[in-house]
Amino acid sequence: MAKPDSNSVLAQERKRGNDLGFCFFRWMLRLLGMKHTRRSAAVVCFYYLLFDWRAVKKTLPYVNHLYPDKSFIWKLMFVYRVFCSQSCMLLDRASNLCGLSGFEHDYFGYDVFRHLAEDTSKGVILLGAHFGNWQLAVEGLKELKCKVNIVMNEEYNEAVKKHLELNSRQDNINYIFTGGLAHGAFEIATALCNGQVVCMMGDRHYGADTTEVEFLGGKAYFPASAFAIAARTGSPVISLFIYKDWKTERYTAYGSEPMQVKKPARGATGKSFEPWVQLYAAQLERMIKEHPEQGFLFYDVWKK
């Protein structure tokens, strides 16, 4: 059977975001405010639930592991809740970028991270996840008095690039793309050796080697690259999760205790970092169980 053409896959991804759609919701934010714009976004999310089965299928592995005993209809309704949750957070980011509103934050562990980020020569790895409003966290990182490097896939949707200001060099923010040689490992190591902050996603491997861990009741495969790089450079690793309280409209940024990864003995295998990857997976699982609709794992991490 022939493999699907990569260009057609990209085309399917592009249709979920275009200039007209982004402009429409930005003008709605300006004219009608957040409340009515969220209602309109909920209608769009229902359309995706009915007609974009590619997006639904990407979400179902997460829902199946989180709620294995629920009925298929219940799971579909939860997928809808996840879609709505993500749309609200994208609207929050858009509102912030437009200068229409700011968002109050509570911080846990941020002072430790800030001290390490601004006063260390070994750099810091900030390990995030596709959970909560991780995109809004970029705005907070602009306040640091140091260089911040964000590791990500190249965004090919020009509308998303333009309206969410992704992949652009601004303030103290620099982007390292995983599509290059060795998935950007050289650039990451260089930034850390220069005492800079490197932000990575710990729940998606982007083609890198993975480590088997326990996650949401099954065997999942998370990348160990962040911990491997930390061991070589001596940089501490801090997990950062940002979630929203829907009742108060406040965000909370939770930073873990710094993890200092020791360099493995010569000849050791990639499993040397398994305890650290498992610790990160357990931290993410705890956050997801507390805020399940804010988990945006649109990727089957349980499939190797």
In a domain, 9, yes or no: no
Q: Does 49 lie in the same domain as 162?
A: no
Which of these three, 43, 66, 97, is where a domain ends? 97
**Measured in Å, how far apart are the chain's first and last C-alpha atoms?**
21
Structure confidence at residue 144 as a pLDDT band (50, 70, 90): confident
pLDDT score at 274: 93
Q: Does 199 lie in the same domain as 60?
A: no
Q: Does 121 lie in the same domain as 78?
A: no
The mean pLDDT of 279-300, rounded to a whole number, is 96
In a domain, 302, yes or no: no
Name the residue with higher pLDDT: 91 or 69. 69
The mean pLDDT of 164-183, rounded to a whole number, is 67
pLDDT one-digit tens code per residue, 40-58 = 999 999 999 999 999 999 9
In a domain, 1, yes or no: no
Q: Does 66 lie in the same domain as 215?
A: no
With vertex at residue 228, the alpha carbon angle to CA 225 and CA 231, rounded to the nearest 5 degrees, is 150
pLDDT one-digit tens code per residue, 23-42 = 777 788 888 888 899 999 99
Q: Does 53 lie in the same domain as 202?
A: no
Report the Cα 270 to chain-centroid distance in Å: 24
In a domain, 142, yes or no: yes
Q: Does 277 lie in the same domain as 149?
A: yes
Please give the residue range of the domain that contains residue 64.
Answer: 17-97
CA 293, CA 247: separation in Å to the nearest integer?
A: 14
pLDDT score at 96: 79
Structure confidence at residue 17 as a pLDDT band (50, 70, 90): low
What are phi and psi for residue 98, nearest 5 degrees?
A: -80, -5
Q: Is the pLDDT of residue 236 over 60?
A: yes
In a domain, 64, yes or no: yes
What number of other Cβ atoms are within 10 A of residue 192's Cβ?
Answer: 24
Place of tokens 């990575």: 200
Structure confidence at residue 1 as a pLDDT band (50, 70, 90): very low
Q: Is the pLDDT of residue 268 over 90?
A: no
Which of these three, 97, 117, 148, is where a domain ends? 97
Q: Is the pLDDT of residue 87 over 60?
A: yes
Give me the number of domains the chain comprises.
Answer: 2
Q: Is the pLDDT of residue 181 over 60?
A: no
Lowest mean pLDDT among 6-20, 123-137, 147-161, 288-302: 6-20
In a domain, 301, yes or no: no
Q: Does 158 lie in the same domain as 136?
A: yes
Mean of all residue pLDDT scores within the chain: 83
pLDDT one-digit tens code per residue, 204-229 = 877 678 999 999 999 999 999 999 99
The mean pLDDT of 171-181, rounded to a whole number, is 76
Q: What's this model's pTM, rounded to 2 decimal places?
A: 0.86
